[in-house]
Structures are given as structure tokens and as C-alpha cells.
Structure 1
Amino acid sequence: MRDHHGNGHHHDHPSPDDPIGTTGGHGMLVFGHEVIYFSHLPMFGVPHNYQVLLEVGLDEDVREVLRLHRHVFREEPYDTFDPVPFPMAELDPAGTGPRRTSITGNILCGHFERRAKGEPPLARNVEVRIERFVQFTQLDVDARATGDGTLEYLCFGHGNQLYLAHAISGWPSFDQILEVRAVPGTATNRLGEPLPDDATTMDKFFREHFTTANRIDIGGRSDDLDHRLASREVADGSLFATSPPSGFHGFNVQLEAEREVYLEVRELAGPMP
């Protein structure tokens, strides 16, 4: 069991049904508007060495709580999910075992391990339906940042609700989620020809053909905290369709960062476990 002070997620228990040892209290960031996403809060230590993005379903009463509540922690203006321990391997879309379809736990204001003592959850015993596996990556706990890596992000969402998640590779690193928008007039096909980029068309593109995250690199930037994307900055995205229809394999578009949803450094850049 690892402590609650930025050094590890709590209630990690081995399980006879989890032979590779991925069972734990896998805390997750909660974010989104029309569509709700969960992002696992990763670390370079077993069993939390996974970068996972999920599109989830919540009952309407829980969604209403998320819409209406006001954040009480100025330094942590986000919500997190504290689940009943489960094997992370059950979220692997390429896994050989049973695929998990739901997770249960509490939703809290701020970081689930750093909230004020006695602060009640926003919602208890919430059953979260897993609608889509957006990204599942197992991190190499022995990987080290080389200093010459290129800054990369994972792009996901729908046309009217897009996000970039920093692609985590080697220690030290950082966990970052940005809300972004497609810059009007910048969408082109692979030949550089302009594409219609009105809100309806862009949303249709993403809903029908971009079901998993796209990895994009930010040219000319090294993969470190000081060079991360910030609000109002623009990046060039080359997006590949998950299930392309005939004649359509993706498109290029500029993405502008509108706001930083989440940034965590110490759990990925502190002392190695």
C-alpha cells in the first residue's frame, strides 16, 4: 500500500483473479460536457503504470451534480473518481480476458487523494458505464526521458468537444489535459485541399470516424514540462480516421488550446517508486 501524499494511489490489493497484478484503486480525472471522459491518473509504478482514456456514461442525476457544483479547491478546479479496486487489465481492449463494462466508486471535488479531510463526495457509489475505450497504453516503469524526445499529444473527442492529452513515455514526465478547438478555415484533406469545417460537419467526422485517440507531434518542441502546450497556443494536427470510409483516411487541421483542464507533475516526476 502506498501513501496518500502524491506518492501513490491508495487501496492497491493483489487479486488471485489478476495474475499480472494490475488490481488497484485506479483514480481517474472526470471531465467533459456533453460527453463525459475519464482519464486514469498514471504513475511510473505498478499497478498504476497505464495511460487510459475512457468515454463513459453517467446517470442524469450524477451529470446534473457535475454541471451545478462549484469547485471548492482553487488549486484543483476539477473532479476525480475514486473507484472500488479493480484490475486495470480488464480495460485493455486488446486483452484476452473479459472486458470490463462498468466501474463503481465515488466522485469527488479535487484530487481524490488530496481533498480536505472530511470533505464529502459529490456522488457516492456511482456506477459508471464504459461506452468507449479511447486509449489504453501500458507505461514502461523503467523508461527514462532521453531529453531529445518530441512533444506528443493524444487528440480525442467530438467535433464540438475536442481534447489533447499529453502522451506519456518516460520518467520524468507530466500528465496534462487540454480542451481544444479546430481553428475555422484550416481543415484540409491529405492533398491539402480545403474541407468543409462547419461545426456540424466536423462533429460528424469525429463521431463517425475517430473513435480512438490520434497521436500528433508538436514540431520543434522537446518532450518536457517547460515546452508543453499552453492556453491560446495553436498546434498542427494530422488526424487519421479509425474506420475510414472509401476515399477518406483523415484530415489536417490546426488545433487551438482553449484551456488547461488538468496538470499533474509530481506523480510522474518525483522520486521513482
Structure 2
Amino acid sequence: MFDTPHNYQVLLEVGLDEDVREALRSHSHAFPEEPYDTFDPVPFPMAELDPSGSGPRRTSITGSLFCGHFERRAKGTTPLARNTEVRIERVAQFTQLDVDAHMTHDGTLEYLCFGHGGRLYLAHAISGWPSYDQILEVHAVPGTATNPMGQPLPDDASTMDEFFREHFTTADRFDIGGRRDDPEHRLAPQEVAAGSFFATSPPSGTHGFRVQLEAEREVYLEVRELAGPMH
């Protein structure tokens, strides 16, 4: 949100006990319009998640897991798991949002690419309001990787597949040029988008590369909470 103390975009890789993992895998989803589960944490200072911070680093968070959006469903809804410890294994992205930053929607549509082990995700990069929070599961289209000048990379498909499996443990920016940064023009499921990783070197060693990513499914979408400051 664009209000303190919630003005952060943070992506975490976390660990859960097996009984909690099984509860998440096996429950019947009650809200088709919210096909995800959310975590309601015991309050803590967000700065403790900052990997570049000077203070002590937080290694776990305690809270309850809910089916759907917990702020809309928690009242009268039984949690999937209570008093659950979430172990923080990796901070993929930590950004403090400027509550006064206004989005003009004339810039490049940007996503944060993260994941590994064959699971690749895009999260919409939030920079100013009004904006939206979106997470997509994606995969790289084989044979579409090129250098910044459009020449095919010498890396074969198997090499690039292994690269995508292992590289994005921290989030890298994926820029989709010529596309408005607003909810109506967001990347949609089953859509293929060509974009650039300017700061990422592929196995062949060029500075940055272009590739096509195909969206498999939309994991999460929230628009109204990022419409602007609430004060």
C-alpha cells in the first residue's frame, strides 16, 4: 500500500513445516475469485527483512494462514493453520515505496522475475500510485533468447532452460517496452510477451538479453489497495 507502515514491496522465499504444507495442498478452495491463500502475521518492523539493513535480520515470521484474502475473509473464517512459523530462507526483493510517488503510466511496463527449480514468476514492479499488485507464473519460450541487438544467443535450449531454473533466486527486472503500465495493459494468462533483462548476463556472457516469456496463470491480482494514499 502507499501508506506507512505498509509501503513496501517484498518478495520472500519461505519454508513451512510439512503439516502446514499439506494443509495448503489439500484444502478445498472456497473463493473462486481469490484463488490463493494469504498469511496474517503477528506485527513486526518491516525493516527487519531488509537484507542491506544495519539492524538484526529477521529469520522467521509467526502468524495464521487463510484461504483467500485474510483481510476480507478472516472474520468468522477458520484459519488453515494458526500460530504458524514461516522460516525466511531468501529475500528475493525488498523495496520501500515512496508514498508520494505518482504513476504517470507513460513508462515501460516492468516486472520482477524470480524463482528457481523450474518455477518462474513475475511480480509487477510497483513504483508509484495508482498501481496494482500482480503475480504470474511464467516460462521462457525456447529459442527466443537474443542479445540486446536481436541476434540469437549461442546458448542452446537446454543451456537456457538450466539458466532459468537456477538464476532468478533474487528478482531481476523484466522490461516490456511499448506497453502502458496500468491494470488494463497488464500481462494476461496464456499471453506471450517479449522483454529485456538489462542487468542480467546469460550463459554466453553478453550484457543483458531479450527473451519471450509466456504467462501460464495469474496467481494474484490486487488493484484497489494500490489506488493511492488513504490519508
Shared fold (TM-score greater than 0.5)? Answer: yes
Residues 1:162 and 2:120 are matched in the alignment:
yes
Counterparts of 1:118 and 1:208, CA distance in 2: 42
**Number of the residue aligned with 1:17:** none
Letter in 2 for 1:50: Y
Aligned residue-pair number: 228
Alignment equivalent of 2:190, drawn from 226, 232, 245: 232
Partner-residue secondary structure (3-state), 1:86:
coil
Counterparts of 1:208 and 1:259, CA distance in 2: 21
Range moving further from structure 2, 76-85 or 158-167: 158-167
Q: What does 1:47-62 correspond to in 2, within 5 Å? A: 47-62=5-20
**Number of the residue aligned with 2:81:** 123
Counterparts of 2:57 and 2:204, CA distance in 1: 30
Cα distance, 1:241 vs structure 2: 4.3
Cα distance, 1:237 vs structure 2: 3.7
Partner-residue secondary structure (3-state), 1:164:
strand
Cα distance, 1:188 vs structure 2: 4.1
Cα distance, 1:83 vs structure 2: 0.5
Please give the per-residue CA displacement for 1:152-210, whole angstroms capped at 9, x wherever unaligned.
Answer: 11111125211110001111111001111111222345663242333xx4564245433
**Number of the residue aligned with 2:24:** 66
Q: Quote the sequence identity (%).
A: 79
CA RMSD of aligned residues (A): 2.2
Counterparts of 1:267 and 1:157, CA distance in 2: 25
Q: What does 1:28-177 correspond to in 2, within 5 Å? A: 43-115=1-73, 117-158=75-116, 160-177=118-135
Which runs of 5 or more residues in structure 1 are unaligned? 1-42
Letter in 1 for 2:100: D
Cα distance, 1:137 vs structure 2: 0.5
State TM-score, norm by structure 1. Answer: 0.76
Mapped contact 2:39–2:65 kept (Cα < 8 A): yes
Partner-residue secondary structure (3-state), 2:175:
strand
Counterparts of 1:203 and 1:109, CA distance in 2: 33
Mapped contact 1:187–1:197 kept (Cα < 8 A): no
Which runs of 5 or more residues in structure 2 are unaligned? none
Cα distance, 1:145 vs structure 2: 1.1
Mapped contact 1:173–1:225 kept (Cα < 8 A): yes
